[in-house]
Amino acid sequence: MQVTEVRISPAKGGKIRAFASIVIDDCFIINDLRVVEGRERQLFVTMPGRKGRNGQMRDIAHPLNSATREVIEQRVLDEYQTAVRHLAVPDPEAEKKSRDGQPGFMDRLSARLFNEDYWSSEANRRDLEPE
């Protein structure tokens, strides 16, 4: 199994930093993965889910083994970091450093330039990486 494409979309705020969609082996897509910031500011990926009748969240798609989960999580987090570096997704640290709580110039500019979802494939990712 290979994650052949990752799509990152910024979230509006809170603990969810971004939403992601992945394509597996160029033939299967999984939407609504979430990049979440934990209590110690670590990032992790949650699988798509929905609330059951009892109010608890249930995954509607998830890997069956930890190796597959690690592959998916690492690829999504790599793409998230690339999106943050290229200003496609706002950096929460930069937002905190902006004066008087207002987004800085670069944040406003990136919001205009990157108002569509950020798509990345393996080939595009290599083109974006610094050498």
Fold of 3-51+58-116: Arylsulfatase, C-terminal domain (3.30.1120)
Question: Per-residue pLDDT tens for 18-70?
Answer: 999 999 999 999 999 999 998 888 999 999 999 889 999 888 989 999 999 99
Question: Per-residue pLDDT tens for 95-111?
Answer: 555 545 565 555 655 56
Question: Per-residue pLDDT tens for 65-79?
Answer: 999 999 999 999 999
List Cα–Cα distances, 97 to 22, 90, 103, in angstroms.
Answer: 32, 12, 9
Q: Where are the alpha helices (DSSP H) in the chain?
A: 66-85, 92-97, 105-113, 122-128
Rg of the chain taking only CA atoms, in angstroms: 16
- The residue whose two tokens read 């998916």 is 72
Question: Per-residue pLDDT tens for 57-67?
Answer: 888 989 999 99
* Between residues 115 and 90, the one the model is more confident about: 90
The mean per-residue pLDDT over the stretch 108-130 comes to 52
Sheet order of strands, 3-13 included? 43-46, 28-37, 16-24, 3-13, 118-121
pLDDT band at 114 (very low <50, low <70, confident <90, very high): low
